[in-house]
Amino acid sequence: MSDLDHAIAQLRACRPIPEPQVRELCYRARELLIEESNVVTVDAPVTICGDIHGQFHDLMELFRVAGDVPDTSYLFMGDFVDRGFYSLESFLLLLCLKVRYPDRVTLIRGNHESRQITTVYGFYDECVRKYGSANVWRYCCEVFDYLALGALVLGASTEVPENRIQQQNHDTQSTLQIPEGEIECEILDASGEVRDKMLRRQFNLSAPSLSMASRISSAPDRDPEEPPSSPLTEVIPSPGQPAVQSPPSLFRPPSTTTGALLCVHGGLSPLIDNINQIRLLDRKQEVPHEGAMCDLLWSDPDDIEGWGLSPRGAGFLFGADVVRKFNHQNDISMVARAHQLVMEGYKEMFEKQIVTVWSAPNYCYRCGNVAAVMEIGEDASNGGSVRRVGGTEGRREMVGAEQHGSRNVVGDGETTNGNNTGTSAVMWNLATPGRRYRVFEAAPQGTRGMPAKKPVGEYFL
């Protein structure tokens, strides 16, 4: 067994590795990360995760529910440390897995991967408590400076990914009837049982414009009279409930082509119109207090128009119009981000153009939320070749053209006001990727352990 495999085994048991080994690990991780672009390219299939925040036992639960490395390819969107009691073990385990299986693990930087923030929110104190000095904290912070700022997931399928997780005593197809048509989104619980499905529907230009497509009701308490949450999807009722009638399709079927997914910790920046601008940033530094790099790690989507000030004091709030324009200009079908606690573990907003994924159940051991990961499948229809972003293959389908200063049609069949700029824009249609959310709860209390009450500086003696 190599030193690295030995370290992985030790960390999986939630036991820290000795300081010289941390130093070596961080050195190797930096050598690996320095070669990565600010925006890492990741091929589907991949499982996308949000904040972990030092909840080591819940990270183990995540791997149990969503598959282990290297069988499952993972993309973690930052905030590995702070708040929880095991930031050290959580981050070092993920870092070991990154060094051991570089092509199966992608780590991007969160706003907590910073010297200033970790000094306030726990990671610094944890390192000093567990090692008797700040050396390990310092090594980790040097790694933080090299973490990528974002990732682009390419080659996503429009279909829900194949379910590769072995079920125990469950038939995943038994609980919900599947109507004819393509399943766009599936929600599974920790035991692998299907809790909800959404069908991809032909879109309809006369459908009412719904600004918020985020709410996905769970089948049991849903009002059957309620319209579908989005013009493009319908919630499939549980057996016994009447089916929701789809309005007749008045338009061509949606594209069978997905764009890339952009994954960042926080969100967009008013300084970034194009993904290539992210690539030009000098990321190898402490997270600045302002500017594009700061915004990518700190911003939040909100029900506003354009940009707004963030109550966090860093980054910005941004509205549906900002996301729609960004996704269109960059051939993105969805932005995936973390950074905000959502009680259901995931939250889709703005006609599914952005999703928040949150992977720390019962956050801070008291919030009572569930957590989720998002699985994206691989588009095998193209003979396995992955489409590149920014290509000019004419792969998008035109769905409407703006007339000067009038109402225009955008990707999802929603109408928005033209802005009287006199420019003419042609809008296109990219399908939302098929996706599966696995929702899970905190690890059982008995396995979680509690923090050491006294300093344990002599940890390894």
Catalytic machinery residues: 112
Candidates 16-24, 104-112, 127-135, 220-228; binding stretch for Mn ion (CB under 5 A) = 104-112
Binding range to Mn ion, per CB under 5 A, among 103-111, 115-123, 215-223, 240-248: 103-111
Q: Which is nearer to Mn ion, 67 or 266 (CB)?
A: 266
Q: CA-to-CA distance for 319 and 350, rounded, in angstroms?
A: 8
Residue 158 vs 299, nearer CB to Mn ion: 299
Tokens of residue 438, six digits: 């696995």
Strand partners, 436: 186, 375
Number of H helices and E strands in the chain, helices first, is 11, 21
Residue of the chain from 83, 130, 328, 339 that contacts Mn ion (CB under 5 A) = 339
Cβ of residue 268: shortest distance to Mn ion, in angstroms?
15
Which C-beta is closer to Mn ion: that of 110 or that of 319?
Answer: 110
- Three-state DSSP class for residue 192: coil
Facing residues of 415 across strands?
409
Q: 188: helix, coil or strand?
A: strand
Give me 50's structure tokens: 């949000």
Residue 87 lies near Mn ion (rule: CB under 5 A): no
Residue entry with tokens 């573990």: 345
CB of 79 to Mn ion, least distance (A): 4
- In order of 87, 102, 149, the CA distances from 18 in angstroms are 15, 23, 29
The first and second tokens of residue 189, run together, are 């619980």
Smallest gap from residue 445 Cβ to Mn ion (A): 26
Tell me which of 79, 126, 184, 234 binds Mn ion, using CB under 5 A. Answer: 79
- Cβ-count burial 124-146 (b if 16+ within 10 Å, e if not): bbbbbbbbbeeebbebbbebbbb
Q: Which is nearer to Mn ion, 233 or 359 (CB)?
A: 359
When CB distances to Mn ion are compared, the closest residue is 339
∠ CA 313-316-320, rounded to 5°? 150
193: burial class by Cβ within 10 Å (0-12, 13-18, 19+)? middle
Candidate ranges 102-110, 252-260, 392-400, 452-460; the one touching Mn ion (CB under 5 A): 102-110
201 interacts with Mn ion by CB under 5 A: no
Q: Which is nearer to Mn ion, 250 or 367 (CB)?
A: 367
Query: Which two structure tokens, joined as six digits, stand for 245?
Result: 């009638």
* Cα dist from 320 to 214, 265, 271, 434, whole Å: 12, 18, 17, 21
111 near Mn ion, judged by CB under 5 A: yes
User: Least CB distance from residue 182 to Mn ion, whole Å?
Assistant: 34
State the nearest-atom distance from the C-beta of 58 to Mn ion, in Å.
Answer: 16
Q: Lay out the site mask for Mn ion across 11-50 (x = CB under 5 A, - = otherwise).
A: ----------------------------------------
Stretch that binds Mn ion, among 8-16, 96-104, 132-140, 336-344 (CB under 5 A): 336-344
Pick between residue 161 and residue 266 the one whose CB is nearest to Mn ion.
Answer: 266
Question: Minimum distance from CB of 297 to Mn ion (Å)?
Answer: 7
- Any contact of residue 300 with Mn ion (CB under 5 A)? no
Q: What are 373's two structure tokens?
A: 């990961």
CA–chain centroid gap for 260, Å, is 13
CB of 261 to Mn ion, least distance (A): 19
List interacting residues with Mn ion (CB under 5 A): 79, 110-111, 339
